[in-house]
Chains A and B, each alone.
Chain A
């Protein structure tokens, strides 16, 4: 197997928040041009493209790219982690040289909005879940948590501590949607969306986009980001049930376990090597599942681990350092923004920079536990 090192050499986000003047396609294009500028490349340099929901060919044509490789894997919010992994493999195979991975979504303003994951009435979820009064992530993705809490001894306070811990990272960040310090009481006093989830335990809903430029480490040396390339050290992808009620185990994500195990193995890292962690947090239970399923803590220990401050600034495992989907931004498919924050931390350019970050792990989820993907990124040449 070809283990040619692969690097992320361009990374950028669009403006975030309410962007009613931009359609979803415009957000994707804006993200792509920003990432190209960050890489110091032009459209003509790109020969590979990956994006979810919208066919990659359509996006390529809009930007004026004639790709020799494309990927339209669309598995929800972790699609972009999968794209990075697939792009790395394609570059190693010589299918393409410079790949754009693109996300843009008008999740809040719904301008030119194209739902990421439809559940038509003849689909499995459309037949066996949707008729029972679940129709959004807020009342479907949340369904496993009561089982998780009973089986692990996790409490309502533990759940509330997730946004509280992450508010220490988003505090005063002008790009974050929620930027004030939260207390457990603040979280508990916010209205119920789907018991036991309060509003502040559910992600913000925003417009925005982000894009990445990926190439070989050899070519990275000649580019604008030659001083701080971010290497793709390992990746993994996995899947679970199309219906959340039928996921393998409601108190633990099979897809989290399998994707992270594969990524850690490929990167050759141990948990103690990880300096920085992003766990896709559409809702407050996901970092709890993530810490346990990835093996950073034992069964039933994630709640205390977060409540005790271990994931906050100065803690021993800085996690969701942009504030996460709960506080920073969440367009509907958050994975791109988790990667962007990991890149910023590895470059030393984050709003709340963690000291001495060498290795970062990004854990994504998609389709409400249907899919998961993991990336291990680093700033040292492998």
Chain B
């Protein structure tokens, strides 16, 4: 569902973020303003197709810098291993990889539009108040 305040929020975020690029990420979720947090291992398991309750992970496309940071700092696996793993899951009918978006801006838009979604943003990205920060690598 599109909301009128969504795009100004994204634009402000992009402008502030582009001034200084962080080497850390924050894991954020659209949980309807609930205060909660997750352990690093729980996030790893969620993004690797583990039992995640009602949360839907969303990830960035291969090659995007923040995906590399997330893979390194939280998942603890190389890009090639993650892709091999998802090939194994997909072609054995066990699981489907998370939804992929092309950019940080698309990630923010997806998170704001989809309740229950969990993604990640650069640590110095101004996180809208409607999203909940679950974990920070910094």
Q: Do A and B come from one complex?
A: no
State the B residues within 8 Å of A (CB).
none
